[in-house]
Amino acid sequence: MMWMILQAEQADAWVIATGLTTHVHDFVKMVFQETGYEIDFIGEGVDKKGYLVSIYEKIYAERVGEQHLVAIKQT
């Protein structure tokens, strides 16, 4: 897909997808997990907030319990 994008004659917005459906909060959890953070969500809808549960690097251990994510209502 990247090769096809590079061959385009005009710049455009592209969506590259796997065809698998994933909830946004699950995607966010996976992204954070790849960087060493474990995130858990509390609340529902636009009130759902993501909190740091644990981290794999000791230098960030003091940040456990901080709020890191807030849902944004789309208009």
User: Is the model more confident about 5 or about 55?
Assistant: 5
Q: Phi and psi for 73 in degrees, rounded to 5?
A: -75, 125
- 10 Å Cβ neighbour count for 41? 15
**For residue 74, how many C-alpha atoms fall within 13 Å in the half-sphere facing its CB?**
0
Give the Cα separation of 42 and 2 in Å (integer): 36
pLDDT digits 0-9 by tens, 18-48: 888 888 888 889 988 887 889 999 998 888 8
Tell me how crowded residue 59 is: count the other CB atoms within 10 A of its CB. Answer: 7
> What confidence score (pLDDT) does residue 46 get?
84
Task: Please report the pLDDT score of residue 75 as a whole number.
Answer: 66
Indicate the helix (H) or strand (E) that contains 71.
none
What are the beta bridge partners of residue 54?
38
**pLDDT for 59:** 61
CATH of 20-75, one of 3.90.199.10, 3.90.25.10, 3.40.50.10210, 3.40.50.720: 3.90.25.10
Residue 8 pLDDT: 92
Domain ranges in the chain are: 20-75
